[in-house]
Structure 1
């Protein structure tokens, strides 16, 4: 049993010394690292880049379209036409006559230019709005990343402080074990008292190992969100806890929020704009379209393969060209376009419901964050006073125990109360920071955490 406890202490001690030997990582550094290295955000930025290419794709439809063509044909069997025999003085007879030559060649180019096509012009406007939508998506992903990293960072900070509190308690109980064992060896203490202290010490050591494992898992989770390699190491500066306490002591002003500043609402507004463009695109299919075309071809015809036989006049070459306009007028499509417009109207109404629902959720989130902050500001002050009082009670009881004026039960109870007070204080700090984070998000100011 003693060997197990010694191994346990050495294992935990090595883990903590390794953890605390690393370079400190501030919240701002963690956020900037995450923005530069998070894989999900990188994918979202690629979507933004893709949006630019989609705009170019739509714009291409409004630019001239030029295509070249060439062909070489071997007419294995010429088509024949029926002529009346009258043309050769044989009335009443039909003659099958083959027209054309065995080989023909053609090379040319064709140009098409949209002069009026409402679908193309509407699509171009929609593509530009799509670029803005992808930018907002990137902004939304960045804010979500800032929020998630900040949450994990604060949780890691509080877990680190809980480990420190347990370290202090383990140290106190270890010293008490040493003193009580000496008293027991000299007949001044009971074995049951020594065993009770050892049981409490083992319980704290077990809790400490659990917290260290929790700290390691939280660290790995933070690394994952940040895009940091697992082999990298860091530690959260302890001064961050003092900053939380000092900030919570300030008088906070709760201002009204503007939901229009929230990226979530901007994204929904842009989705509505895109859906309106989609509706206009469907409606534009009812409009006529006008396009300009131009064609030029150079043709060669001969009865000789590849034109290598016969004299120069055996191959006939000639050019053809044409320009014109193509007018397309939609008349009836079986009410297909009307159905598309109706679907777009339904999608727009759905978005309006989504926006109303989102506004309500954002307002509730803000009100809840205010309530949580008010509650935990009071809790921080109360738990701090309670922790200081529990600390005084512990040391007073410890002194009385040394003088024989207090029993072991009183001392262990005082020590347990101190541990509970420390954990409650740390929990209040964490809940305050999480509520503050929600409030910053409600105001649309998450990027202020980068400064």
Structure 2
């Protein structure tokens, strides 16, 4: 009977381990990886918290113009002090001691007019919008960074596969050459040259495998997962290229109003303009109303203070030796600076658009060229390999052709990477990621 609880316990442990393992394994397309990062990336979480802070700041500013209620209680002891009062000439003075007093007061205040309050409320709302735009920018940047990390991991894996396939081919040639040498049909120099080539490819494969792990670590950081998480990329570079509409990207016009940096610059300009209004409003009076109710817990013998009090208070700035004017002038200068920054950003975005379109066009041309180059290099290598088996070319010719083919494959992969990067950069500028 004791075996049953043990079996149940082992089952729970195994199921728990499988659950943990499932939580540590991720199989993601590019779009799924971007969505996952937006949900779990630490930088995105901080940007989301910044939006919450800005929202609370709006509530804080709004509450400053709503009724405020305070309560206070005090206790006073005059330590036996007395007052002497003569009620007539020649009469002895009457001593009246000060008794301890205690008051409980409730005060309600209400802001009636304050120009700076309304401007401040409008400004905090713009700050809230700016925080939301910053969150949107963080999303765009995370999408870009995840895509770059995804591409890098795929390129690294593709490089490993190419090197391993190349190593397998060279190993076959090396083994057959060694056999031919053993029967006197090949030179020792051929064997040595191929052995060097095998060694170089083995070292290259090890280096490429380390690059793969580095690429996956970068992707883990962007996804916001632990170093132990196993990630499987379910899309290939060719599949991603098939999904990308390069011609549509090139034909999409730049609308500055949709660019996130331009949107944020507009909000910065609005804030600078509101700062001018804020400094001007500080020259206007502030009016507040209040009501107070005081209850005497310990009353003195003579109490003529009424319990209820209502009133208005107006504070009027009169003279500040030019300080307020200087602040208004500073705000105007800051606003002019914001206008210049906006104009500068506009010029930069227009120039960047042209450059990114040139980059994408060039990357498309390079990709087609390298794709054709790989096919040619592969045919040359296969042809020389056949001739080498027939003894018509030397091992040096074969290794040279092999190196050329390997370099062509590397250039082809890099052209794919550059093409995807160029498309990504232009889409980011157009805010179409």
Output the TM-score relative to the length of structure 2: 0.88
* Secondary structure in 2 matching 1:235: strand
In structure 2, the partner of 1:376 is 363
RMSD, aligned CA: 2.6
Counterparts of 1:55-204 in structure 2 under 5 Å?
Answer: 55-78=58-81, 88-89=88-89, 101-204=98-201
Is 2:204 the counterpart of 1:217?
no
Corresponding residue pairs, total? 409
CA drift at 1:356: 2.3
Q: Distance in 2 between matches of 1:291 and 1:333?
A: 22
Is this contact kept in 2: 1:293–1:323, CA < 8 A? yes
CA 1:254–1:299: 2 relative to 1, 3 Å:
same
Q: For the Cα contact (< 8 Å) 1:101–1:302, is it kept in 2? A: no
User: Is the 1:296–1:322 contact (alpha carbons within 8 Å) kept by the matching residues of 2?
Assistant: yes
Point out the more displaced range, 291-300 or 231-240: 231-240
Counterparts of 1:228-243 in structure 2, within 5 Å, are: 228-237=225-234, 239-243=236-240
Q: Unmatched 5+ residue regions in structure 1?
A: 1-21, 304-313, 447-451
**Rounded Cα–Cα distance in structure 2 between residues aligned with 1:115 and 1:407:** 97
Q: Hey, what's the Cα distance between the residues in 2 that align with 1:99 and 1:218?
A: 90
Aligned residues of 2:103 and 2:296 also touching (Cα < 8 A): yes
1:285 aligns with 2:282: yes
In the alignment, is residue 50 of structure 1 matched against residue 64 of structure 2?
no
1:339 & 1:442 partners in 2: Cα distance?
A: 39
**Counterpart in the other structure of 1:388:** 375
Shift of 1:219: 0.8
Q: For residues 238 and 122 of structure 1, what CA distance do their matches in structure 2 show?
A: 52
- Which of 322, 332, 347 is the matching residue for 1:360? 347
Instruction: Name the CA distance, whole Å, in 1 between partners of 2:261 and 2:376.
Output: 46
The 1-side partners of 2:82 and 2:49 are apart by 57
Which residue does 1:28 correspond to in 2?
31
Return the alpha-carbon distance in structure 2 between the equivalents of residues 302 and 168 of structure 1: 100
Give unmatched runs, 5+ long, in structure 2: 1-24
Worse overlay, 344-353 or 34-43: 344-353
Q: Which range moved further: 362-371 or 380-389?
A: 362-371
Q: CA shift at 1:281, angstroms?
A: 1.6
Q: SS at 1:332's partner residue?
A: coil
Query: Does the C-alpha gap of structure 1 residues 237 and 321 become closer, same or farther in structure 2, counting only changes over 3 Å?
Result: closer
Distance in 1, matches of 2:240 and 2:295, equals 82
Query: Given that residues 287 and 330 in structure 1 are in contact (C-alpha distance below 8 angstroms), is that contact kept between their aligned partners in structure 2?
Result: yes
Return closer, same or farther for 1:154/1:98 CA change in 2, 3 Å cut-off.
farther
Q: TM-score, normalised by structure 1?
A: 0.84
Cα distance in 2 for partners of 1:96, 1:337 equals: 58
Q: Secondary structure at the match of 2:251?
A: coil
Q: Is the 8 A contact 2:249 2:423 kept in 1?
A: no
- Which residue of the partner structure matches residue 409 of structure 2? 422
Partner-residue secondary structure (3-state), 1:350? helix
- State the SS of the aligned residue for 2:110: strand
Segments of 4+ moved more than 4 angstroms: 95-100, 245-253, 300-303, 314-319
- Give, in whole Å, the separation in 2 of the partners of 1:120 and 1:252: 46
Q: CA deviation at 1:319?
A: 4.8
Q: Which residue of the other structure, out of 299, 313, 328, is the alignment partner of 2:315?
A: 328
Q: Is residue 394–residue 415 contact of structure 1 (8 Å, CA) maintained in 2?
A: yes
253-262 or 145-154, which moves further after superposition?
A: 253-262
Distance 2:256 2:93 in 1: 83
